[in-house]
Amino acid sequence: MVATIAGSDPSGGAGIQADLKTLSALGAYGCAVLTALTAQNTRGVTGVHAVPADFVRAQFDTLVADVELDAIKIGMVADGAIAAAIADGLAELAAGGSGAVVVLDPVMIATSGDRLLAADAEDVVRRRLVPAADLITPNVDEAAALLGVDRATTIDDLRTQALALRGLGARRVLLKGGHLAHPGGPTGDRSIDVLVDADGTVHEIGGERIDTVNTHGTGCTLSSAIAALRPVSPDWVIAVRRAKDYLTRALRHADDLQIGRPDTDGRSPGHGPVHHFAEVWPPAGAHRSR
């Protein structure tokens, strides 16, 4: 059983909705603790309404009092009070002997560029949630924000910053290099992520670069996939590779969904979701948003 602690996305492409789709697609039973409601679609975020921190904690405590979890994925925490409430809950759960693995996706900036984390929360995430996680999965922008440096532009930068994030107390770091993948870029037609394991070993996790604008929810999907797969995988490296393979398939079929209202040219100006159920649903064309 896997719990996701994250915000809601009404368009279904990211957040709690993407997490639960991912967990279901990979055979895990998903539970959820909501941290925020958002008003968003494929084009951007127009509003965020944070759930009161004490009610986030009440959701968490009530869940773990009854459901034994194998893994916990943390996504959008919205503000500092919520981040602290989650950190307190995780500490008590660990003190009680829980063996649940914790995957932290430090959600700060949406694919659309909209900021999803209040400034007061960054320090709490850095000081309390990063050390509490078994694995953190920042993208290059989130890593730069956590470290207070410029964003990575090369594979060497990814390695350097992933190791620096371990210096903040992270046990393991998966620094995602998807933003570096483009024709002529430093990774060419490959999407390269850098995983630093608990012993400091650096692994490069490669995958096919999928040329699509429909990338909404990729970070949520990957971190949830890792949380689903780690309890049934022999180690973190294999779990990450399997999760990346799943995300690559979801990206490969993202254009099949056609989610989002088109502009006058017949194309959506937003970022549609990845296809979480590409291996389950009927062929392309059977499901449309209009």
Residues known to be catalytic: 176, 215, 217-220
By CB atoms closer than 10 A (0-12, 13-18, 19+), residue 156 is exposed
Cβ atoms of residues 82 and 53 within 8 Å: yes
Cβ atoms of residues 247 and 222 within 8 Å: yes
Cβ within 8 Å of residue 232, ≥6 positions away: none
Length of the chain: 290
Phi, psi of 111 (to 5 degrees): -55, -35
β pairing state of 202-208 and 190-196: antiparallel
DSSP 6: E
DSSP 11: T
Question: Cα separation of 50 and 37, whole Å?
Answer: 6
Cβ atoms of residues 259 and 42 within 8 Å: yes
